[in-house]
Structure 1
């Protein structure tokens, strides 16, 4: 559902973002609560339904229950980061978006190299939770920093015209 919402709104991010990040952010503010609620519902669904996995695919997969529960926040992180990322791209900040995404991928890779040998799947889970949450926070932080800069520039321009 989130991917469908993203695909349906992608062109609109460019239309709204042509005037600056305020336009694409206004669109994201309308759509991200829907995606966020879906991400929360999906996470709760994963957490609650995790104990059914061994009954469906066999007792050999009983450890999957814990892994699914650890990773339950990921749908929320992903849903929220997609809209921040499209806000940036729509407003012409693809390079900054990509920098954050590459940095998060490198962080994930590095954490995996360190944590998996020590903690097995729990290390991988921590790595994913850390990199995905930081990617989400970094993307939104960048959106708001750029938004504040745009608002400040706009106010200065208006003041200089008067």
Structure 2
């Protein structure tokens, strides 16, 4: 399954949503709920057998309470999720996504690095062992040569 790459309008909208959630989340300890209003919008609408109505103050209170609950439950999740996606992963200068594609896929340089890592990983421990054995053998040879030289001098 492939996910479409966000457009610049999508990223701007994500940034605006991030700012709106920040505005709700300004209070220390997160936003407090409106007492007497439920905190789960989907459950509330299902229980009431209604669709969301932006003209209904009760619906707006439940929406606010649900957002406030999210902001208290996972403080700054919106900064990490929206900000991380919009301003880190999708930022062309970070070269995380392939700029030539219209869907989310890793940058070709990252894919090449992963392929290189995969080929090197298989030989990583054996290579360390070869290098360690060679270093030990070289140290032994140098010590033996030094010892023989010292024996010949005395």
Q: What is the TM-score of this pair, normalised by structure 2?
A: 0.28
Higher relative contact order (CA 8 A, sep 6+): 1
Structure with higher Rg: it is 2
User: What TM-score comes out, normalization by structure 1 length?
Assistant: 0.27
